[in-house]
């Protein structure tokens, strides 16, 4: 096997460098937009993004279901907001109570306030949304928006000089000679 992975993939070094440059520009662009853009991607470092929140988004024929793992979060403190196709969940994980003589050897569990924005894959009916909290899992169910049913609009023909005066073309109707 060759030692050059780009050769194995059938890609030359210039293409790989272009991909790297595009990704670098994208990351820099997101970073330049500020902390809020990073938070919406779950990458922020500010007070509203203390670690990622495991989230599932499942599209079903009649609904969209979003599940978030929120262990240790009080259900009464969870806020669920829906604006257009963006579901936002806010809450707070309590800070641990420190005890005298305590030595922390590892601290990976997220604490403090959090906010996560979840883009939805399809339009949903804002009037048909439920949220349930059970065993540390928040489940939000949203009915899919009914597809817009089009309708044909009849076109009326008007005379050249008299705007809005329809010309009747059926038998026995005025305007037919």
Is residue 99 a part of any domain in this protein?
Answer: no
The model's pLDDT over 106-135, given as tens digits with 9 standing for 90+, comes to 887 778 899 999 999 999 999 999 999 999
Q: 53 and 5 in one domain? A: no
How far apart CA 111 and CA 120 sit, in angstroms, is 26
* 109 vs 155, higher pLDDT: 155
The owner of tokens 């009916």 is 125
Q: How confident is the model at residue 133, as a pLDDT?
A: 96
Instruction: Give the residue, 159 or 155, on which the prediction is more confident.
Output: 155
Prediction pTM value: 0.56
Nearest to 73 by CA among 117, 137, 139, 141: 137
- Total of domains in the chain: 2
7 lies in which domain range? 1-32
Residues 127 and 51 in one domain: yes
54 and 118 together in one domain: yes
Task: Calculate mean pLDDT across residues 141-166.
Answer: 80
Q: In the predicted model, is pLDDT for residue 161 greater than 90?
A: no
Give the model's pLDDT for residue 34. Answer: 58
Q: What is the pLDDT of residue 18?
A: 78
Q: What backbone phi and psi angles, to 5 degrees, belong to 17?
A: -65, -35
In this structure, are 51 and 86 located in the same domain?
Answer: yes
Residue reference for tokens 């540390």: 136
Give 54-105 pLDDT, tens digit per residue: 999 999 999 999 999 999 899 999 999 999 999 999 999 888 888 898 888 8
Contacts of 133 (CB under 8 A, 6+ apart): 70, 75, 78, 139
57 shares its domain with 26: no
Per-residue confidence (pLDDT) for residue 97, from 0 to 100: 82
Does residue 69 sit in the same domain as residue 129? yes
């Amino acid at each position: 096997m060759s030692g050059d992975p780009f050769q194995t993939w059938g890609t030359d070094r210039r293409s790989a460098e272009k991909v790297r440059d595009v990704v670098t520009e994208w990351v820099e662009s997101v970073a330049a937009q500020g902390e809020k853009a990073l938070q919406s991607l779950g990458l922020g470092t500010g007070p509203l993004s203390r670690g990622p929140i495991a989230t599932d988004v499942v599209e079903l024929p009649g609904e969209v279901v979003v599940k978030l793992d929120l262990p240790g979060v009080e259900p009464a403190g969870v806020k669920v907001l829906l604006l257009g196709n963006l579901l936002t969940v806010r809450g707070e994980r309590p800070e641990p109570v420190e005890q005298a003589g305590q030595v922390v050897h590892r601290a990976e569990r997220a604490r403090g306030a959090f906010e996560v924005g979840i883009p939805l894959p399809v339009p949903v009916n804002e009037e048909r949304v439920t949220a349930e909290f059970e065993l540390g899992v928040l489940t939000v169910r949203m009915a899919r928006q009914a597809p817009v049913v089009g309708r044909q609009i009849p076109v009326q023909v008007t005379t050249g000089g008299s705007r809005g005066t329809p010309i009747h073309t059926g038998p026995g109707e005025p305007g037919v000679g």
